[in-house]
A and B are shown apart, each in its own frame.
Chain A
Amino acid sequence: TQLLEQSPQFLSIQEGENLTVYCNSSSVFSSLQWYRQEPGEGPVLLVTVVTGGEVKKLKRLTFQFGDARKDSSLHITAAQPGDTGLYLCAGVSNSGYALNFGKGTSLLVTP
């Protein structure tokens, strides 16, 4: 199994602060996906990164795929309470059919 480790596990910040969460592996992935999950709901896809070194922006969220395609980061600028949730990274498994998920980073943004 290709393991994905996410850090930090928990993050509590105030509105307006910046933050970065990390997703690391010893395995190479053809692509990595980021999801956000709110309490009581299923995960929702935010972005897919494919090319080593790729940077994608989604409003205040910036996603980067490592050059070696083993790691990824998510940076949030000026966090808002609406950013609160569980952030999950996932990579396509060797079978090509399934995703391996990290355990997630739980983010709480307080006003």
Chain B
Amino acid sequence: GESVGLHLPTLSVQEGDNSIINCAYSNSASDYFIWYKQESGKGPQFIIDIRSNMDKRQGQRVTVLLNKTVKHLSLQIAATQPGDSAVYFCAENSKATDYKLSFGAGTTVTVRA
């Protein structure tokens, strides 16, 4: 079964607002958690990762938070833009499983103008 799963399959956000996409995981031995973005008709694209010994990591307009106590991961997108409309996947990997990526089901984010 899946080792990562998302809370909500869809999210509608007003342009300019912040987006929060959530993900739950079950594998306590995961080494990395990763967020990918998939635009329509394209392959997934890496956004940001976080090592399991970290709580927070920031990138350009994105922040990933990791709460190991409740096994929860979130991706925050600041000032959401129309180009952020896509499907977002959380993924995890671990040394124990050859670092192969295991993906959740995805959240479709739609940005309203």
The reply to whether chain A is a binding partner of chain B is no
